[in-house]
């Protein structure tokens, strides 16, 4: 097990406390078993290593981190590795990329049941359904989701400016005062344009902006060819068609889909398209929107399809349309803030009773002004007035 320990300490030495993702302070680290799900590149590994370095090591208790796809596990299993670690005083175990381990759910259940004073934290792809593994973990594990960076976190990471988090209700009631306060600390519009193009993942802190699209394309390949291959049992032919589907969708997103047309372009069945859309949404490559009042069911046709974040738009299309970018950003930030969003009959999005219409700085309320509860999310303005809110301000919700 020395190779796992050596690798762990090499990684730990590279971790700093300059920036923490929002989720770090929201996790109840006292739980016995914690799952952290999220898209590739969102910072799950760093989050776990920061917890070890800045939250646990001072206690003097035994701790170990490893990735479940390490070659050590070609000849060893998780349970025996855990037993060896525990017998040598280990009490905190952090497991990365658990979806890459074939019997992850069964062995995690055995670990939970066999070592009652051991705390386990593991990370996985967003696409993994932790509660539908071959062994029931629903009563054992607490799950947290780590999305990409909010605009607020991007400002903290790149400009070292800590901004308060505001919720949708505060934006509705006090957006002018909040925006004025933020504007005193940074220039929102130039930073917002940067964020839309390359600021969604923490890799921006150590990469050139022009390398981000290449990095995102590599992530897409890894998610489809590796993560979903493990989780959804894709073969090479399926993986190729799923990537083709994503490119077809990126050309038009956001749009109301014609699944017959899409299935012909991808040369597959409608049922396969339904299934792949659901998997790509779980993997955080798409956001699927259902009409207001429509029930949720498996393999249901979405009423509108979006790429999951605006950086993907720039990575998959040379010149994405600005209206699509605005809508993609707002839907992404609302959903990442755990707000249920539907497609209304009028306006772009409905969050609870509130309808939101998205547009540029000259957008007026003609389409929604007859509604009782509405907002205009307007791009290219620093401050709003009345029901017109700066679009960038919706990036401060998590």
Residue ranges of the chain with per-residue pLDDT less than 70:
58-60, 131-135, 295-299
pLDDT per residue as tens digits for the range 50-99? 999 999 976 667 999 999 999 999 999 999 999 999 999 999 999 999 99
Match 């607490």 to its residue by tokens.
Answer: 142
Joined tokens for residue 382:
């620093």
Q: pLDDT value at position 58?
A: 67
User: Residues 227, 243, 265, 286: is their CA dihedral positive or negative?
Assistant: positive
The CA distance from 90 to 60, in Å, is 10
pLDDT score recorded for residue 133: 62
Q: What pLDDT shows up at residue 187?
A: 97
- Rounded to the nearest 5 percent, the helix, strand and coil shares of the chain are 50, 15, 35
374 beta partners:
355
- What per-residue confidence (pLDDT) applies to 348? 96
Q: Enter the pTM of the model.
A: 0.93
Distances (CA, A) of 61 to 54, 73, 78, 307, 394: 13, 24, 20, 43, 41
Residue 296: per-residue pLDDT:
60
Whole-number Å distance between alpha carbons of 305 and 114: 44
C-alpha dihedral (123, 129, 133, 136), degrees to nearest 10: 90
What is the per-residue pLDDT for 298? 55
Per the DSSP assignment, residues forming a β-bridge with 36 are: 123, 144
Q: State the pLDDT at residue 230.
A: 83
Give the containing element (helix H, strand E) for 144. strand 142-145
Domains assigned to the chain: 2-145 (3.40.50.300), 153-396 (no CATH)
pLDDT at 299 (0 to 100): 63
């Amino acid at each position: 097990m020395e190779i796992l320990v050596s690798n762990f300490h090499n990684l730990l030495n590279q971790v700093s406390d300059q920036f923490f993702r929002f989720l770090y302070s929201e996790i109840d680290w006292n739980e016995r078993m914690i799952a952290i799900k999220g898209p590739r590149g969102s910072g799950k590994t760093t989050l776990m290593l920061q917890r070890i370095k800045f939250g646990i090591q001072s206690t003097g208790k035994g701790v170990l981190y490893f990735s479940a796809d390490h070659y050590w596990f070609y000849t060893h299993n998780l349970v025996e590795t855990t037993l060896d670690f525990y017998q040598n005083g280990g009490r905190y175990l952090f497991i990365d990329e658990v979806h890459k381990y074939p019997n992850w759910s069964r062995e995690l259940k055995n670990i939970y049941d066999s070592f009652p004073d051991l705390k386990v934290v593991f990370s996985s792809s967003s696409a993994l359904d932790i509660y539908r593994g071959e062994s029931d973990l629903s009563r054992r594990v607490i799950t947290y989701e780590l999305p990409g960076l909010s605009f607020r976190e991007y400002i903290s990471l790149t400009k070292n400016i800590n901004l308060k988090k505001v919720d949708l209700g505060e934006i509705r009631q006090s957006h002018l005062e909040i925006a004025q306060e933020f504007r005193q600390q940074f220039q929102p519009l130039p930073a917002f344009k940067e964020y839309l193009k390359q600021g969604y993942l923490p890799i921006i802190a150590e990469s050139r902006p022009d390398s981000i699209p290449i990095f995102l394309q590599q992530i897409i390949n890894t998610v489809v060819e590796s993560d979903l291959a493990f989780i959804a049992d894709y073969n090479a032919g399926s993986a190729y068609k799923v990537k083709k589907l994503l490119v077809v969708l990126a050309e038009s997103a956001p749009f109301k889909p014609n699944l017959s047309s899409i299935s012909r372009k991808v040369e597959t069945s409608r049922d396969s398209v339904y299934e792949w859309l659901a998997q790509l949404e779980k993997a955080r490559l798409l956001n699927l929107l259902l009409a207001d009042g429509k029930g949720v069911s498996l393999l249901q046709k979405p009423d509108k399809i979006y790429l999951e974040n605006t950086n993907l738009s720039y990575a998959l299309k040379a010149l994405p349309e600005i209206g699509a970018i605005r809508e993609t950003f707002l839907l992404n930030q609302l959903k990442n803030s755990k707000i249920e969003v539907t497609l209304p009959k009028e306006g772009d999005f409905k969050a609870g009773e509130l309808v939101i219409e998205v547009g540029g700085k000259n957008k007026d309320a003609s389409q929604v002004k007859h509604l009782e509860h509405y907002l205009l999310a307007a791009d290219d303005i620093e401050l709003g007035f009345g029901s017109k809110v700066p679009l960038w301000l919706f990036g401060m919700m998590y």
